[in-house]
């Protein structure tokens, strides 16, 4: 006879009375993990390797302090009970509060400067990423949050970067890096995430001797320059891909999972989507660097070590080898 795998993990605790700070640490740890609470000292999580790890770490701390604890697994006895347990993880209110903050931000844009506006957006995005990480049963409120984040990003771009490119609809063609060595690459001035990351990618993996031209008007792009991230450019948004992702696909760089993960981060910050934990931090650093640096050359120089560090961290966690420079 076979049984279905357990859907739930339960942490049942009996804490010693002489360490009141332990109770608070356990409560905070369970809240941070997104656990549901059935009663004081009884916490519930959906069954997964990560959930088990979290509960076992808490159990070890409780035992060390002299408390009693059990980690139990079980299956709901009925559909009705399953529904009741799932309801403990409803994040609707949390999403609604974050969406209200986004609506307030859009209403205040007229009086905000760009750094402050983007920092506020990054703050809400950081909050959203925290909610998403604890949302084990994502539903319509999660989609509403994604839409609100994208709308707020679009509103900020409409105010501070009106010439953001519209997605083209065409088949991506494979490109040979040898044909793009020592070229002048041109994009719109006042770089933001997609453009600065694309410029880093170009110089790091495609054209080590690349020279960059920052355009006041995209229509002034020289004919011999390689345009990127503006309407009509050789490399720009195509369908659902942002420019960084188009460059990855065009130059056969998608086998590097570190670059793919960085591309997902750029995509999230440029056009929205499911929040990524590192996104708010990168957006805040970018906004700060943009405010501090005198021009786009200095901005690219300042952001290069940030992007290198992100790539190194992503590549270290990826099972495949990194693409080497200049091949």
Q: Are residues 75 and 137 in the same domain?
A: no
Please say whether the beta carbons of 156 and 117 come within 8 A. yes
Q: Are residues 187 and 287 in the same domain?
A: yes
* Cβ-based neighbour number of residue 207 at 10 Å: 22
* pLDDT tens-digit map of 272-324: 777 788 888 898 899 889 889 999 999 999 999 999 999 999 988 766 545 55
Instruction: Give the closest residue to 213 by CA, choosing from 243, 236, 185.
Output: 185
Q: Are residues 124 and 187 in the same domain?
A: no
Would you say residue 148 lies in a domain?
Answer: yes
Q: Are residues 154 and 37 in the same domain?
A: no
Instruction: Give the closest residue to 265 by CA, choosing from 181, 210, 170, 196.
Output: 196
Residue where one domain finishes, among candidates 33, 63, 87: 87
Q: Are residues 97 and 83 in the same domain?
A: no
Would you say residue 233 lies in a domain?
Answer: yes
> How much is the pLDDT for 319?
60
> How much is the pLDDT for 320?
52
Instruction: Give the closest residue to 211 by CA, choosing from 235, 187, 234, 190.
Output: 187
Would you say residue 303 lies in a domain?
Answer: yes
Residue where one domain finishes, among candidates 66, 87, 108: 87
Would you say residue 141 lies in a domain?
Answer: yes
Please report the sign of the dihedral spanned by the C-alpha atoms of residue 141, residue 144, residue 146, residue 149.
Answer: negative
> How much is the pLDDT for 3?
42
Residue 221 exposed, middle or buried by CB count within 10 Å (0-12, 13-18, 19+): buried
Q: Are residues 259 and 292 in the same domain?
A: yes
Would you say residue 181 lies in a domain?
Answer: yes
Domain containing 130 equals 92-160
> How much is the pLDDT for 277?
80
Q: How many domains does the chain have?
A: 3
Q: Are residues 214 and 311 in the same domain?
A: yes
Q: Are residues 202 and 306 in the same domain?
A: yes
Residue with tokens 């999972």: 257
Length reported for the chain: 327
- φ, ψ (nearest 5 deg) of residue 47: -70, 120
> How much is the pLDDT for 189?
92
For position 35, which CATH number holds? 3.30.70
Would you say residue 127 lies in a domain?
Answer: yes
Q: Taking the mean position of all CA atoms in its chain, how far away is CA 308?
A: 17
Q: Are residues 198 and 223 in the same domain?
A: yes
* Whole-model pTM over 0.85: no
Tens-of-pLDDT digits for all 327 residues of the chain? Answer: 344 566 999 999 998 877 788 889 999 999 999 999 999 899 999 999 999 999 999 999 999 989 999 999 999 999 999 999 999 999 999 999 999 999 999 999 989 888 788 888 888 888 888 899 899 999 999 989 988 988 888 888 778 776 778 888 999 999 999 999 999 999 999 999 999 999 999 999 999 999 999 999 999 999 999 999 999 999 999 999 999 999 999 999 999 999 999 999 999 888 877 778 888 889 889 988 988 999 999 999 999 999 999 999 998 876 654 555 544
Q: Are residues 128 and 188 in the same domain?
A: no
Q: Taking the mean position of all CA atoms in its chain, how far away is CA 56?
A: 28
Instruction: Give the closest residue to 89 by CA, choosing from 146, 125, 129, 43.
Output: 43
Q: Are residues 16 and 75 in the same domain?
A: yes
> How much is the pLDDT for 5?
61
Q: What angle do CA 125, 282, 195 make, to 5 degrees?
A: 110
> How much is the pLDDT for 20?
83
Q: Are residues 142 and 272 in the same domain?
A: no
> How much is the pLDDT for 100?
95
Longest dimension (CA), the chain: 76
């Amino acid at each position: 006879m076979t049984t279905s795998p357990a859907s739930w993990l339960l942490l049942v605790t009996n804490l010693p009375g002489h360490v009141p700070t332990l109770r608070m640490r356990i409560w905070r740890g369970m809240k941070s993990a997104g656990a549901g609470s059935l009663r004081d000292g009884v916490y519930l999580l959906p069954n997964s390797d990560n959930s088990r790890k979290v509960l076992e770490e808490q159990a070890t701390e409780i035992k060390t302090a002299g408390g009693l604890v059990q980690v139990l697994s079980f299956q709901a006895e009925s559909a009705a009970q399953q529904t009741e347990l799932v309801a403990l993880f409803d994040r609707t209110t949390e999403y609604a509060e974050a969406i209200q903050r986004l609506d307030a931000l859009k209403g205040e844009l007229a009086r905000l400067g760009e750094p402050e506006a983007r920092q506020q957006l990054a703050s809400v995005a950081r909050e959203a990423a925290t909610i998403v990480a604890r949302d084990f049963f994502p539903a319509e409120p999660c989609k509403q949050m994604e839409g609100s984040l994208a709308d707020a990003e679009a509103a900020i771009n409409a105010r501070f970067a009106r010439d953001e490119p519209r997605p083209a609809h065409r088949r991506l063609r494979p490109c040979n890096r040898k044909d793009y060595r020592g070229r002048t690459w041109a994009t719109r001035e006042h770089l933001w995430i997609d453009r600065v990351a694309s410029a880093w990618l170009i110089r790091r993996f495609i054209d080590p001797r690349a020279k960059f031209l920052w355009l006041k008007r995209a229509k002034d792009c020289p004919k011999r320059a390689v345009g990127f991230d503006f309407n009509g450019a050789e490399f720009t948004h195509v369908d659902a891909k942002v420019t960084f992702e188009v460059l990855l696909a065009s130059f056969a760089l998608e086998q590097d999972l570190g670059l793919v993960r960085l591309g997902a981060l750029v995509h999230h910050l440029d056009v929205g989507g499911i929040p990524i934990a590192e996104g708010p931090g990168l957006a805040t650093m970018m906004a700060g660097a943009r405010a501090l640096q005198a021009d786009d050359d200095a901005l690219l120089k300042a952001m290069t070590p940030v992007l290198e560090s992100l790539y190194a961290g992503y590549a270290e966690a990826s099972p495949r080898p990194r693409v080497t420079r200049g091949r």
